[in-house]
Structure 1
Amino acid sequence: MPDARAAGGEGERLHRLLSRALGVLAAVLLFGMAVMTTADVAGRALLGYGVPGSYELTSMMLAALIFVGLPLTTERDEHVAVDLADHVLPTRWVRVMAAVAGLLSTVVLAVLAWQLAVRGAGLGEEGAVTNILRLPLAPVAYLAAATTGLSAAVQAARTLAGLRGR
């Protein structure tokens, strides 16, 4: 997902594979959430009780979905951005501000990935599990750490490409 398209060949194939894999995983998670919510609501309405652990599963799927979508959002530059001063500043200053924002975003994402990995390790050592289904929590933290780290790499590549004028 880093700006591998410029490298061509292998880099382009890796970029497409990662984008597709993350997109498919996001779609599967969203579909799973919809099915789980529908089954839970239907069970409550028709049978008087819902799917045991549906809240836990939906919460875990939502967390995974958010973090799986992060590298895709970063790659497509679809994060929320406010351009209050861009139209009144010289182009050079707008580029400098974009570079600083890109570098800052890269650092924040990298630190967040590191802290998520630390948290995942802690959850794994504690043997932390959900209350009802007893599902381990560490894998969700590790997924969040990995995808946030990928987002940091994507942001770094975007920032470097911007500095090179691409």
Structure 2
Amino acid sequence: MSVTSIFGRTFLQKGLPGDYELVQMLTAIAVALCLPYCELKRGNVFVDFFTLWAPRSLTRVLDAIACLLLAAVAFVLAWRTTVGMGEMREYAESTMVLSIPIWWTYLALPFSFTLLGIAALFNFHLECTKRDS
């Protein structure tokens, strides 16, 4: 969409109306929907610089705590995006150019954050049931 709009602005003196709005909305949805999968695959960035010296049992405890914190944050985000979606709908917020209701963007967010919290709890369970090898 961006390439088409840039091409149109450059060569045809007419871009796609609302291209920035659509890219922003779709990017927010895409990123949020990828978070649960990333957590299930343990694809999040780990900073293990401070735990390189630590025994595996300690790093496992720290990883389990991180999973619980992530789950808590994800569930709070799911709750607050649900509240935000209701407010956006109530106030009829819409985009400037295309007049798309903003609350439509929020539809995927509570679902995605809830799945993220569940994935983090699943990883917490895995961390708690690991055995030293």
CA deviation profile, 1:29-83 (whole Å, cap 9, x unmatched): xxxxxxx112101110111121111111111111111111111111111111100
1:165 to 113, 119, 130: 130
Q: Structure 1: state its 5+ residue gaps.
A: 1-35
2:18 to 46, 53, 61: 53
Task: Give the aligned CA root-mean-square deviation in angstroms.
Answer: 1.3
Task: Show the counterpart of 2:63.
Answer: 98
How many residue pairs end up in the alignment? 131
SS of the residue corresponding to residue 62 of structure 2 reads helix
Task: Show the counterpart of 2:96.
Answer: 131
User: Is residue 80 of structure 2 the alignment partner of residue 115 of structure 1?
Assistant: yes
CA deviation profile, 1:106-139 (whole Å, cap 9, x unmatched): 1011111111111111111111111111111112
2:39 to 74, 87, 98: 74
User: Is residue 3 of structure 2 the alignment partner of residue 38 of structure 1?
Assistant: yes
- After TM superposition, the score normalised by the length of structure 1 is 0.75
Deviation at 1:97, TM superposition (A): 0.8
Deviation at 1:85, TM superposition (A): 2.7
- Distance in 1, matches of 2:35 and 2:57, equals 29
Q: Structure 2: state its 5+ residue gaps.
A: none
- Distance in 1, matches of 2:107 and 2:25, equals 12
- Distance in 1, matches of 2:86 and 2:30, equals 21
Deviation at 1:87, TM superposition (A): 2.1
Deviation at 1:94, TM superposition (A): 1.2
1:146 to 102, 105, 111: 111
SS of the residue corresponding to residue 4 of structure 2 reads helix
Query: Once the two structures are aligned, what percentage of the paired residues are identical?
Result: 27
- Distance in 1, matches of 2:55 and 2:98, equals 57
